[in-house]
Structure 1
Amino acid sequence: MDIAALTAFLAPLLPYLLKAGEKFGDAAAEKIGQETFGFAQRIWSALRGKVDEKDAAKEAVIDVARDPDDEDLRAVLRVQLKKLLAEDPELAAEVEGLWRQATAATGGVVTNVTASGAGSVAIGRDATGSTITTGGTGPTG
């Protein structure tokens, strides 16, 4: 399983997954879609017990939830998830199965795509052979 892809998928959703209450889940579902968020919930549900048992993993999750875009924090979370899954083959198989279902159901797209700034482009699927024009003529448009 691609732990980096799994981490990239979960990281921006951790603030929602860690908070109780339907309104937080609704906000996340609006952001990425109900089906995709449902898979995130199932994957997190599988991982949560083991994460809570290991202080380093728990700390990594909390840190990423506070700052999902910090690549250093994501790297620590990747390492912790890799260790958890290596230590528990049953959990690894369960998460792998959920991950496969998620990628199959979403056409292979289970990452969160965001574009920001003038001239930015976000692509949630394949763009092979495509020409993308943002309308700008230089670095500032």
Structure 2
Amino acid sequence: MDVAALTAFLAPLLPYLVKAGEKVGDLAAEKAGQEAFGIAQRIWAALRPKVDGKEAAAEAVADVARDPDDEESRTVLKIQLRKLLAEDPDLASRVEQLWRQASGGGTVVTNVTASGAGSVAIGRDATNSTIVTGGPDAGR
């Protein structure tokens, strides 16, 4: 399993996943899409007991939930998730199954932003693709 991609998928949703409440879930579903947030909830439900049981992992989740864009915090979370999954093959199998639903089911698993002239953002696969944004005079 690609733990880095899993971390990237969960990070922007962690502020919503760690808080309870229907309104919070509604906000997250608007942000990520209903299907993606549903998968994130199921992955988090599988991970949470192990995360809560390991201080370093719980701290990493709290840090990312506080600032989902902090790359250093995401790196620490990725390491902690990798350790948790390595320690528990059953958990790893359950999360892998859920992750396949997210990555194989057509769900966008990352937040993508492009800005500026000629910028391109791709939220899923772009294998063997040619992307043309125009020449230096495009848009003039």
Note if 1:51 corresponds to 2:41: no
Note if 1:17 corresponds to 2:23: no
How many pairs align?
A: 135
* 8 Å Cα contact 1:36/1:106 also seen in 2: no
Pairs within 5 Å for 1:123-134 = 123-127=122-126, 128-133=129-134
Aligned to 1:106: 106
| Secondary structure, counterpart of 1:30 in structure 2 | helix
Aligned to 1:7: 7
Tell me how far 1:136 sits from its aligned partner.
8.0
Tell me how far 1:132 sits from its aligned partner.
2.5
Q: TM-score, normalised to structure 1's length?
A: 0.87
Q: Distance in 2 between matches of 1:103 and 1:126?
A: 10
Tell me how far 1:39 sits from its aligned partner.
0.4
Q: Which runs of 5+ in 1 are unaligned?
A: none
Q: Distance in 1 between matches of 2:120 and 2:32?
A: 17
* 8 Å Cα contact 1:39/1:102 also seen in 2: yes
Q: Distance in 2 between matches of 1:25 and 1:126?
A: 27
Q: 1:73–1:122: structure 2 CA closer, same or farther, 3 Å change rule? A: same
After TM superposition, the structure 1 stretch with the greater mean CA deviation from structure 2, 97-106 or 73-82, is: 97-106
Moved beyond 6 Å, runs of 4+: none
Q: Distance in 2 between matches of 1:123 and 1:23?
A: 29
* Alpha-carbon displacement from aligned partner over 1:9-40 (angstroms, at most 9, x marks no partner): 00011001111111111111111210011000
Tell me how far 1:126 sits from its aligned partner.
3.9
Instruction: For 1:35, give the aligned amino acid.
Output: E
Sequence identity (%): 71
Q: TM-score, normalised to structure 2's length?
A: 0.87
Q: Which runs of 5+ in 2 are unaligned?
A: none
